[in-house]
Structure 1
């Protein structure tokens, strides 16, 4: 007796494994029924690559079992479910079962022809996830699915004319080669975008809110003219937010029509909107349970009565309420916003209904996503402790502290209920790591130094420990520096940091008359940082420096006098103290927030006695969505102590990068009778930059234009700081957040200068905001 189950080719393409099994079951019962018998042996025939053990393991019967029709049908279902066989037969020879199989061909090789848009290794990995890979059984249905997936991927790149042809070529030993031949075609571009139905705002105003555009001279970089459904959905949400923030509470998008030209080269978008009436807020009511703290919650209301409805302020108020509930331990509090609309008068009464739910405490804090960074580096930043009441404010602070480490692209905290409990939750800190190495470059062009280069290589998370290691090099003709630094941010468990610096500096003031002198300083320092609040850190440290004035030709008078008083080599042991607070929203491309820094250096030991102070403040103001104003101010002051002169090698310098652009590097301030720019003990810098969107880049904040104005100067110990002696410059530039850091290319001209000043117009730098 032979039981045979064959699946036609069309059936295989549809993968009806269950259907085949059901057919097998019905065939056994209707046509090939046999009387039950005791199995004496089981043989397998037709195997080429598959292991016989796979077949035996799939069968629901063994030698010595009683064989029945139902077990035979179940065996067929199990063998087809392995995906290894395209045909299976069960033959009964007396008390022996013979399983005859026909294996699916194996995939010998997967090839791609004509793929330029995607990396082939990435395509191989993607197809492997759907079952198309070398060594896997070939399934035509999976190949068809892979073909459709390839087409879908090309659609995400706006290649709507892409065609994919799958070719199956037989190979020896029952194998096949699978080749995907792709004709990518040209990128489909957005030809035009229309917004219809708008009355309150012009079409051009609304189009300026969208990231998608109909093209521009910079579209090759922004790709804003390449359509993608995800981009369109994001723009529709932006459009909706624009209206909801201006009082159009019932605004809706009626349709978004996408039309592709017959040659699949052009796309036309038509967005139809219904604005609805403009609503003004007439009042805000509180309903529900506010834990007896209604007055506290009312202070959090940001919704303004008498002004048009603003969705952002409503959402911010909602979030402020839920955050406040979270600080009381109510992790799942809900606040429903229920506007009562008077359409005839265009009025809206906002009702906030609070449901605190239940108070919970944190059972466990988990860390996920850190393959390189150690758990303790993340956990030590957390202020929400296990087995403590849930505190939303502490959780947000913890998330922000982890984010400010700079080791991660994204940081999120997920809250999940503990099964079987009503008052416990687990927190999971999910992080996405990023490279923490940083390369910073700077350069300046001048007639004196020609090309000046500076570079630094930094690793902020060495071996995942959270420690910092950096090397800085400056190759200037007049100033050369080599600095090795390391920082342990948690030298103690309480968060006290410790840093070491070892350096060697060679400098020579800019001199119009030349000379072979130079100042060499070698030394090191140890510094500790003590966190006094979550945002304030106080630093103090001790250093040792050995400074020598080498050479004599062209030596400035001030340097000559200092050497006469102290000798060729001076040893200084400075004590340092400082304070810093940083509330900027980004250290690379900030648009909001403030940075404050104070640093004091006191030479109380060694051959010198002096005090050197440096103060800095940065403030960023978001003007509009794409416009940001940044202001930087610095003031430096130094003086000698105990009757000793202020060390000339501690002078401040001005001009050029990081100071007053448009002037040569370090060229401001007193000029020695030998023609050397020797700097001074007093310095003032004020810098202002206005960032605007780059033409054609839309709302892309990584590439912007900026205009700047710099004011500043340096004064000597015997000079009085005078307003009329300030230098000033203005200029334009380009700011780009490049893979190696923020790059600035600027061109400026002095607007207030003096005859002896040296001009430097073109400058670029990488790695700092100002």
Structure 2
């Protein structure tokens, strides 16, 4: 049978795939001959060179029927052709092909749950995409792959169809039409075989939940295969952390209703019994560091085995060895169980590998940010011994820049060596420019407006520039700030600020023209931050300030605070002051907005010279203590002490400090603690302040440990006082009333809600004042958008 006859039979009776398998066995019925010419027919878009790579025939070379058979097989295997025919006549080899169309473009209609780029990359992984040969089997596979991606996200009812558009030059366009369904919701979660722990306890280990009154916000009742895999792993870890070394779980059974909207999940667990540790030991190459490594072992004999504590030990040993230059140390925890006694022997096998040093540090992913900005945060140096601790510090410092969505630090062995590694720092930049416009309402300042433009990492230089405008009933502020975190190569930062603000003293009881009196301040400051360790910084600088007080005449009929008339008498309407400040700050918190561990300590002193001679000493200590993974106990203690340096003049009232409301003692009106003006009844604050808070954060019901939304219970205490010639006046009986012991301690307790909203940190509190004094202005419900304790 000739090759042409076999090809004709294939067209009529068998598909191309079967022909591809049969053709190599066919007989071409020609004797070997020397090729005089080769002619290729039917090519439209494929490069002829590509075809000749699969056909061994060459002019002047001998060609055999075995080579012809193999050529047909290999050409079909490329997937580029629907038909291939090789024939010979008069020492000429004829290669006839029918090309498959080439996919020119792939588009998606109706797809919202996924980014088209993500799905395009997924289809490329199965061999389907622009530039590839069109194949019906691959098209069907592509549709199934899109469906499977939707199923993995819980969209069980999604339908995917395709349309093929012929194009010139043997090309086609492929369009996928996606009819998305809603995400299937979890109706039931049931456990089978659990005896040691209740179904409710095991459900608490899962991120997915059944519908609740907050799942509209969290979305945890929406099914996802990835989430289910994570949840089963969390359950396995929960058992292993409690000593159940024989624990196993069957594959979850997921049942969906006919309408594809509700899902039931059944989980079967095989618990076994918990094991206690009989012996804990080290093995392997300990390099004479037995005592040092032994001190890092967390589990102790007699304890119930815990995988988490075992992992804590392996990580500690790896980090210790990494700090000595052993970048690829391998530490494995191996528990050996004794089923008769329900005891286990735990051995940590240590293989430090070779000590290595860093050959190069490569920076990648930074399009806008200069290499220098990232490299100067590195504590690991090139040509130095590898140090895991320094690399960890480097990653934290780069993260704290705030310029990147993610920072990955990896190490790769240098080819051809066994004692060198290259460190790769890959970053993903985030937009660092921000324009914000906002309207807010606060219980102290009423309606407020905010507008600002800021650019962190301006021109990729690592410096920040910002303009901010705030205005409310009693406070207006315009400020321009520029920060250079590396003003010197040693890491000294410099912040320059220019600001303009006006402020009206606060009085809730008098209704009059808010512009009847006010303080206008213009300031220019420069501060420097000097690092003395990874977490410690000395702050010093100076700010020049000009203040002017506008007061109407005494016969104007306005109620003007006596304290402000006294200030003008003592210091004049316009004052100039140079404020010199020196401070120290240490911050080890894991997160600035929603910390769960660590502490913040700060001490600062400010000295005013010029028309206003005074000093102010301030200190603050915050501490966050995690109580398991769900709860955080927070403490805050702050104190301020100010005093006039002039023996015959009181502390300047325009430098007074305030307390009351969110951020200090909740349950009392904002800024209401302390002295009251004897004429107008305005809140005057004072020159000393002590505030203490204790707060317990708890997961909000239904959010399943979402740190962006938490509720809390709290207790507050605080007081405002005066020093020197200043007195703690009690107010005016006719204007706001007399308050008893205005500079005494005030206490409160209550509950609140904390939410990291798109507008900023939002805090809502309901506080009950404890044994308030007569005349106190109480305010039980308060809220604030902005940073607070």
Settle same-fold status: TM greater than 0.5. Answer: yes
Pick which of 297-306 and 431-440 moved more.
Answer: 431-440
2:686 pairs with 1:680: yes
Alignment partners' CA distance in 1, 2:426 and 2:493 = 25
1:539 alignment counterpart: 539
Cα-to-partner distance string for 1:573-596 (whole Å, 9 max, x where unaligned): 111111111111111211111111
SS at match of 1:509: coil
Pick which of 496-505 and 346-355 moved more.
Answer: 346-355
Pick which of 536-545 and 224-233 moved more.
Answer: 224-233
Question: Using a 3 Å threshold, how does the CA distance of structure 1 residues 299 and 132 change in structure 2: closer, same or farther?
Answer: closer
Could you tell me which of 563, 570, 576 is aligned with 2:568? 563
Pick which of 457-466 and 575-584 moved more.
Answer: 457-466
Does the 8 A contact of 1:601 with 1:612 survive in 2? yes
What is the TM-score when the length of structure 2 is the normalising length?
A: 0.86
SS at match of 1:619: strand
Question: Using a 3 Å threshold, how does the CA distance of structure 1 residues 691 and 9 change in structure 2: closer, same or farther?
Answer: farther
Pick which of 587-596 and 175-184 moved more.
Answer: 175-184
2:609 pairs with 1:619: no
Pick which of 406-415 and 634-643 moved more.
Answer: 406-415
**1:100 offset after TM fit, Å?**
4.8
Alignment partners' CA distance in 2, 1:338 and 1:30 = 64
Alignment partners' CA distance in 2, 1:10 and 1:193 = 53
**1:630-645 superposed matches below 5 A:** 630-643=634-647, 644-645=649-650
What is the TM-score when the length of structure 1 is the normalising length?
A: 0.88
Alignment partners' CA distance in 1, 2:124 and 2:276 = 56
2:510 pairs with 1:510: no
2:287 alignment counterpart: 291
2:747 alignment counterpart: 728
Question: Using a 3 Å threshold, how does the CA distance of structure 1 residues 131 and 760 change in structure 2: closer, same or farther?
Answer: farther
2:473 alignment counterpart: 477
SS at match of 1:520: strand
Cα-to-partner distance string for 1:551-603 (whole Å, 9 max, x where unaligned): 32543222222222332211111111111111111112111111112222111
Pick which of 712-721 and 682-691 moved more.
Answer: 712-721
SS at match of 1:30: coil
2:718 pairs with 1:712: yes
**Unmatched runs of 5 consecutive residues or more in structure 1:** none
Does the 8 A contact of 1:333 with 1:355 survive in 2? yes
SS at match of 2:675: coil
Cα-to-partner distance string for 1:453-490 (whole Å, 9 max, x where unaligned): 45655444333322222333321111111111121111
2:520 alignment counterpart: 520
Does the 8 A contact of 2:183 with 2:222 survive in 1? yes
2:28 alignment counterpart: 30
**1:536 offset after TM fit, Å?**
0.6
2:205 alignment counterpart: 209
Does the 8 A contact of 2:248 with 2:271 survive in 1? yes
Q: What's the C-alpha RMSD, in Å, of the aligned pairs?
A: 3.5
Does the 8 A contact of 1:108 with 1:175 survive in 2? yes
Does the 8 A contact of 1:585 with 1:592 survive in 2? yes
Alignment partners' CA distance in 2, 1:629 and 1:548 = 44
SS at match of 2:594: coil
**1:126 offset after TM fit, Å?**
5.5
Pick which of 357-366 and 526-535 moved more.
Answer: 357-366
Does the 8 A contact of 2:51 with 2:75 survive in 1? no
SS at match of 1:616: strand
Could you tell me which of 730, 752, 756 is aligned with 1:737? 756
SS at match of 1:315: helix
Cα-to-partner distance string for 1:467-522 (whole Å, 9 max, x where unaligned): 22233332111111111112111111111111111111111111333351111111
Alignment partners' CA distance in 1, 2:445 and 2:784 = 16
Does the 8 A contact of 2:42 with 2:99 survive in 1? no
2:592 alignment counterpart: 587
**Unmatched runs of 5 consecutive residues or more in structure 2:** 553-557, 730-740
Pick which of 151-160 and 85-94 moved more.
Answer: 85-94
Does the 8 A contact of 1:445 with 1:762 survive in 2? no
Does the 8 A contact of 1:588 with 1:741 survive in 2? no
Question: Using a 3 Å threshold, how does the CA distance of structure 1 residues 379 and 115 change in structure 2: closer, same or farther?
Answer: closer
1:654 alignment counterpart: 659
Pick which of 101-110 and 666-675 moved more.
Answer: 101-110
Cα-to-partner distance string for 1:736-761 (whole Å, 9 max, x where unaligned): 33345433333445445445444445
SS at match of 1:451: strand
**1:366-377 superposed matches below 5 A:** 366-377=362-373
Alignment partners' CA distance in 1, 2:627 and 2:688 = 33
SS at match of 2:787: coil
